[in-house]
Amino acid sequence: MPYTVLIVGLKEKDAGKTSLALALLAYLREKGFNACGFKPRAGNSVWYDYDVVHEALSQGRLYGKDAKLLKTASTSRSVAGVASANLIEEFINPFHRLWAEPARIDPISQIPYFIIDRVTLWFKEGVRNLVVVNEALPVEYRCDDKLFRKLHARASSIYHVRDLNTLNKLTREYYDLAVELAYSKMVEQHDYVVIESYSDIALPWKGIKDLDVVFGVQPGQISVYEPRKYLAAVQLSASTYSQEELATSKIVELIKPIKEVRMPPLRSEEIMQGLKEKIPLLLRV
């Protein structure tokens, strides 16, 4: 098994997860390790992230900026030295959601205001791309269907969701499976796997079992958590709270970090080097 790092945000937005993941991958690559970034679930806005949305959809694909950055920073060879054909954005990020604006949940139907989902299943016999279209989205939030023609043309299957039960059924059947299939391939091919959660969610998917270290990041500070205690705190919180997704704020109430590393404010061009200099302190626990 590879050495596995989980990076979570200790605040909802702009915590610094991707910056830390990129710095860690760069550090490991420079040390000669075969390391890969993994963002199991991700989403972006059709309005605020249109450059990368347009880039992806023009190829008949759907991915976000973080997956693109993590792919570039990851090592594209297997442990045996053979080039990996899997290292594309859909491998780094098997589930991606394109959000409408505002990105909220409908108070009546309880269906999120998403436009479309892309779910990639990495089966041994071949890759399947599923597209899930939110037909329950109010007309005023929808996009021109022409934008998604290439994505639809490349899809193995297209599902049209009109109610929460259908969405939940697809989620149970395919979404976590997509993450597990990609992750199982990734751990076979790399020495290090750097898992980046989304928003301030404590676990990016429920199937995480074996971790070597957990980093919690927020502006000015990176906290290091003992992985067994962190996962135990998640399990305890899951039995206490009814939410499907647990925020890191619920977890860090229960455990203390084994180390805290301070980060000063840095200019954009200094962030990567500044973070790389802190990596030895973070990994030495």
Q: What are 19-70's pLDDT values in tens digits?
A: 999 999 999 999 999 999 999 999 999 999 999 999 999 999 999 999 999 9
Instruction: Quick: pLDDT tens for 77-96.
Output: 654 444 455 689 999 999 99
User: What token pair was written down for 100?
Assistant: 């409408």
Residue 93's nearest CA partner among 231, 198, 8 is 198
Q: Strands 41-45, 157-161: parallel, antiparallel or unpaired by DSSP?
A: unpaired
Round to whole Å and give the CA distance between 39 and 205. 10
Q: Are 236 and 142 part of one and the same domain? A: no
pLDDT of residue 102: 87
Q: How confident is the model at residue 243 (pLDDT cuts 50, 70, 90)?
A: low
Instruction: Specify the residue for token string 């989980």.
Output: 6
Q: What is the side-by-side strand order in the sheet with 126-134?
A: 41-45, 95-99, 114-123, 126-134, 157-161
Q: Are 50 and 8 part of one and the same domain? A: no
How many structural domains does the chain have? Answer: 2
Q: Are 164 and 209 part of one and the same domain? A: no
Bridge partner residues of 213 (DSSP): 5
Q: Are 54 and 176 part of one and the same domain? A: yes
Check if the beta carbon of residue 111 is closer than 8 Å to that of residue 138. Answer: no
Q: Tell me the percentage of the chain whose pLDDT exceeds 70.
A: 94
Instruction: Quick: pLDDT tens for 174-215.
Output: 999 999 999 999 999 899 999 999 999 999 998 888 899 999
Q: Which amino acid is at 153?
A: A
Instruction: Quick: pLDDT tens for 137-159.
Output: 999 999 988 999 999 999 999 99
Q: Are 139 and 244 part of one and the same domain? A: no
Structural domain for 283, as ranges = 1-33+191-285
Instruction: Specify the residue for token string 């694909």.
Output: 61
Q: Are 104 and 168 part of one and the same domain? A: yes
Phi and psi at residue 175, in whole multiples of 5°? -65, -50
Helix or strand holding residue 38 (H, E)? strand 35-38
Among 157, 174, 190, residue at a domain's last position: 190
Q: How confident is the model at residue 76 (pLDDT cuts 50, 70, 90)?
A: low
Q: Are 56 and 183 part of one and the same domain? A: yes
Q: Which amino acid is at 139?
A: V
Q: Are 109 and 2 part of one and the same domain? A: no
Q: Are 60 and 178 part of one and the same domain? A: yes
Among 157, 190, 223, residue at a domain's last position: 190
Q: Supply the CATH number for residue 9's domain.
A: 3.40.50
Q: Which amino acid is at 77?
A: R
Q: Are 75 and 202 part of one and the same domain? A: no
Q: Are 64 and 139 part of one and the same domain? A: yes
Q: What share of the chain is helix, strand, coil (3-state, %, to 5)?
A: 40, 25, 35
Among 148, 169, 190, residue at a domain's last position: 190
Round to whole Å and give the CA distance between 166 and 109. 12
The total number of residues written for the chain in this structure: 285
Check if the beta carbon of residue 60 is closer than 8 Å to that of residue 150. Answer: yes
Q: Strands 213-218, 3-9: parallel, antiparallel or unpaired by DSSP?
A: parallel
Tell me the pTM: 0.93
Q: Are 99 and 160 part of one and the same domain? A: yes
